[in-house]
Amino acid sequence: MRNRIKEYREKKGISQGELADLCNVSRQTINAIENNKYDPSLQLAFNLSKTLGVKIDNLFLSGEEI
Amino acid sequence: MSTRKIGAIIIGAATLIVIGYSIFKIITGKEVGFNEVIVIGTLLMMFFSAITWGNKEEKDGILLEEELGQRITEESSKISYFILLFFILAAVAADKLINGTINVFLLGILGLAMIILPFVEFLVAKKYQ
């Protein structure tokens, strides 16, 4: 599942490590999600959406949008 | 250097020492058996754990308790199960080829190993039905 986490994280001016701390995961998890190597759970997706202040459907792209 | 890396170096060095000592024992004709296998196995287990999992305090590496860590554990458990099954099958075949007999205990373990996964899956699936 493609996502725009990197784009919104950079807009907010925070590093992968800072986002990881805010979502209570490791920096490696954020890196894996940003590089589409790992699809997060619904709970983590909601956490990311809340932390970045972006609607979840704007953060994650469905197949048709790719 | 992080605690994880220091730990991995110490455990790695200890493993090499024990492996070296075991090789020395084999060369000098001494018996190598249960103790060596268990010690080397335990040290390698600790070494791979140390190089795989990170430390929450030091923010170094993937954490075992986070969801990516859990995913890694799940995937590797399934892969490990099939690799282990293959090795047990190979051990039964090797015993038959080399000794001309079939080790009943090993065959029993092979049979048990073949049904353990589907049986546990059945039990876990019952929880959701």
In whole angstroms, give the CA distance from residue B113 to residue A26: 35
Do B67 and B121 lie in a common domain? yes
Last residue of a domain, one of B61, B83, B108: B61
Chain B contact set for A43 (CB, 8 A): 67
For chain B, which residues lie within 8 Å of any Cβ of chain A, measuring from their own Cβ? Answer: 54, 59, 61-63, 66-68, 71
Q: CA separation (Å) from B37 to B3, B40, B97, B103, B124?
A: 27, 5, 24, 20, 34
Contact, B52 vs B7, CB < 8 A? no
- What's the pLDDT tens digit per position in A41-64? 999 999 999 999 999 988 887 655
Mind telling me how many Å the CA of B65 is from chain A's nearest CA?
Answer: 9
The yes-or-no verdict on residue B69 having pLDDT over 60 is yes
What is the Cα–Cα distance from B82 to B103, expressed in whole angstroms?
21
Residues of A with a Cβ under 8 Å from any B Cβ are 17, 20-21, 24-29, 32, 38, 40-41, 43-44
Query: Does the structure's ipTM exceed the value 0.90?
Result: no
Looking at the structure, do residues B57 and B105 belong to the same domain, yes or no? Answer: no
Mean pLDDT of B53-75: 89
Identify whether the C-beta of residue A32 lies closer than 8 Å to the C-beta of residue A38: yes
Q: Do B49 and B35 sit in the same domain of this protein? A: yes
Instruction: Give the residue from chain B lying closest to A30, CA to CA.
Output: B68
* Residue range(s) defining the domain that contains residue B94: 63-128
Residues B54 and B9 in one domain: yes
The whole-model pTM stands at: 0.82
**Nearest CA-CA partner of A44 in B78, B99, B71:** B71
A57 vs B56: CA distance, rounded Å: 30
Query: What element of type H or E holds B1?
Result: none
For position A63, what pLDDT does the model report? 58
User: Closest residue of B to A43, CA-based?
Assistant: B67
The confidence band for B59, taking pLDDT boundaries of 50, 70 and 90, is: confident
